[in-house]
Amino acid sequence: MERSYEKYFRQNRLPHLWCPGCGNGIAMKAIVKAIEMKGLDQNKTVIVSGIGCSSRASGYMDFDTVHTAHGRAIPFATGIKMANPELNVIVITGDGDCTAIGGNHFIHGCRRNVDLTVILFDNNIYGMTGGQASPMTPTGKKATTAPYGAVDHAFDACKLAEAAGATYVARSTAYHVQHLTDLIAKGMDNKGFSFIEAMVQCPTSFGRKNKMADPAAMMMWMRDNAVMKAAWDKLPEEKKTGDKFPIGVLYEASDIDYATAYDHVIDLAGGAGK
Ligand code: SF4
């Protein structure tokens, strides 16, 4: 049976290197399904990724792709978008790549409202490099660098994106795959910085250290703890505790995107550089 999304993959690069049960493939497929839903031109869509398990996705996807340095996907993507604003530029990053090494680039990409769709595959840990704690490892969860549990408080990357100036912020999970696909597609409609956190299970580096080595059980955890935004907003504060977290469109705003703002500057300067 022909699957319509297969044309978006480099078949000669498959099978992928992700561990059995990893959630990265689910998130990658959600992206190509969203691309298909929006009818984006394969020749005018660029995928940019950083470094880490998640960022290997760009190598499997049959678009113009750039696998950049650790934490640097957003600046590469910004350059691509500014050089040719007609392109659809999608960034794939991970929790370590985006919020640690690339944390500064992340907040400034949001602040500038660059017209990018950034999908953060959040597996709560550095998977590829050996299971170190990332800035999104929940407090108390174990990692190779936190054998007794992480002491630090984890970033809420969605709140960070909103506070820094992103104009579309959403979250879903590998369990809620159609919901995740729809949120990514909606992010592609926003002319500005769109940030989607895709929670993915990492049974190997996170799960095994935290008594959750069964990928199906990790997905059931997502099912049981995710709360749709509309229901979340009605919950009393004392019930927004423990592992519960909201999913859906968490924030939307309207603001001028960076390339358009820069065009105004070029006009003010008399068209130099156009
Ligand atoms: Fe996936 Fe974790 Fe394996 Fe990386 S280490 S491929 S995130 S399961």
The pLDDT, as a whole number, for residue 241 is 85
The encoded tokens of residue 38 equal 């929006």
The pLDDT, as a whole number, for residue 273 is 57
The pLDDT, as a whole number, for residue 197 is 98
**pLDDT per residue over 103-130, tens digit each?**
999 999 999 999 999 999 999 999 999 9
Cα 212 to middle of ligand 1, angstroms: 13
Cα 273 to middle of ligand 1, angstroms: 44
What are phi and psi for residue 54, nearest 5 degrees? -60, -40
Q: Which atom belonging to ligand 1 lies closest to the Cα atom of 18? A: 6
What share of the chain has pLDDT > 70, as a percent? 98
Residue 4 pLDDT level (bands cut at 50, 70, 90)? confident
| pLDDT higher than 60, residue 1 | no
Q: Which of 204, 206, 219 to mutate to test the pocket of ligand 1 (most atoms within 8 A of CB)?
A: 204
Contacts of 239 (CB under 8 A, 6+ apart): none
Q: Is 273 left (phi over 0), alpha (psi -120 to 50) or beta?
A: left
The pLDDT, as a whole number, for residue 2 is 61
Radius of gyration of the chain (CA): 18
Cα 127 to middle of ligand 1, angstroms: 5
Residue 272 pLDDT level (bands cut at 50, 70, 90)? low
By CB neighbour count within 10 A (0-12 exposed, 13-18 middle, 19+ buried), where does 224 fall?
Answer: exposed
Q: Which atom belonging to ligand 1 lies closest to the Cα atom of 23? A: 1
| pLDDT higher than 70, residue 101 | yes
Q: Are 88 and 44 in contact (CB under 8 A)?
A: yes
Domains, in order of start, for the chain: 22-228+243-270 (3.40.50.970)
The pLDDT, as a whole number, for residue 36 is 95
Q: Which atom belonging to ligand 1 lies closest to the Cα atom of 17? A: 6
Q: Are 209 and 225 in contact (CB under 8 A)?
A: no
The pLDDT, as a whole number, for residue 213 is 87
Cα 23 to middle of ligand 1, angstroms: 8
**pLDDT per residue over 8-24, tens digit each?**
999 999 999 999 999 99
**pLDDT per residue over 151-206, tens digit each?**
999 999 999 999 999 999 999 999 999 999 999 999 999 999 999 999 999 999 99
**pLDDT per residue over 50-91, tens digit each?**
999 999 999 999 999 999 999 999 999 999 999 999 999 999
DSSP alpha helices (H): ranges in the chain? 24-38, 57-60, 73-83, 95-96, 103-112, 157-164, 177-189, 215-225, 229-234, 258-268
Q: What is the mean pLDDT of the chain?
A: 96
| pLDDT higher than 70, residue 274 | no
